[in-house]
Amino acid sequence: MQTARSSSEFARPVSDLGAVTARAHEVALRGHAELQALAASQYAVMGGGQEHLARLVEAVANTGLGAALCSRSIHLRTEVLLYEDADTTPASSRECLTGAVDRLLAAADGCKIVAHHLSRRLASAAARSADQKRIADALSQSAASPSAAAAPTTTPSGAAAAGHRPPVATHRPR
């Protein structure tokens, strides 16, 4: 009977956190795929596109780190099977989960900022028109130069084109 109880104790962290951990990893992988598609598109030449890509990269990195911390949390609760001196209390696992939550919330905040900016741009006919012109210009430049078509677009957009750098966040998640 003791063996059955011990087995369920060791399986509990996986059953409790496994689905959430797998989902966080799936979201991070999908985020990487979306970033790759956006980077290959003309998104960066849109107004604020480079800043948005940078925010999305940060969000995907935070999602991946949050997922990894979820995995680490499971490991910390099950490592007593592997090491005699392992921590048998849930404190270290909770710390990892707290870090995972912080990272996932930071990722969500970054995505909300980008979504808010994009919805404002899409609601503005003038911004949509300016973006269409930027994209057309970038496409014509890449068509005119065969070597430019192979290289990623680095045309600055919006305020950066006017000599201003986009604002840099002063707060970074832990």
What is the model's pLDDT at position 121?
A: 79
The answer to whether residues 24 and 62 touch, using CB atoms and an 8 Å cutoff, is no
Neighbour count for residue 137 (Cβ, 10 Å) = 13
What distance in Å separates the CA atoms of residue 100 and residue 72, rounded to the nearest whole number?
10
The parent domain of residue 104 ranges over 2-161
Would you say residue 111 lies in a domain? yes
- pLDDT tens digit string along 28-70? 999 999 999 988 888 888 888 889 899 999 999 999 999 999 9
Dihedral over alpha carbons 54, 114, 43, 46 (to 10 degrees): -110
What distance in Å separates the CA atoms of residue 71 and residue 88, rounded to the nearest whole number?
17
Neighbour count for residue 55 (Cβ, 10 Å) = 20
Q: How many separate domains does the chain show?
A: 1
Would you say residue 171 lies in a domain? no
Would you say residue 156 lies in a domain? yes
Q: How confident is the model at residue 15 (pLDDT cuts 50, 70, 90)?
A: confident
DSSP state of 56: H
**Mean pLDDT for the chain overall:** 79
What is the model's pLDDT at position 33?
A: 93
Q: How confident is the model at residue 98 (pLDDT cuts 50, 70, 90)?
A: very high
What is the model's pLDDT at position 172?
A: 45
- pLDDT tens digit string along 136-159? 888 888 777 765 445 454 443 443
pTM of the model: 0.69
Of the candidates 124, 123, 140, which has an alpha carbon nearest to the alpha carbon of residue 45?
A: 140
Would you say residue 118 lies in a domain? yes
- pLDDT tens digit string along 106-122? 999 999 998 888 888 77
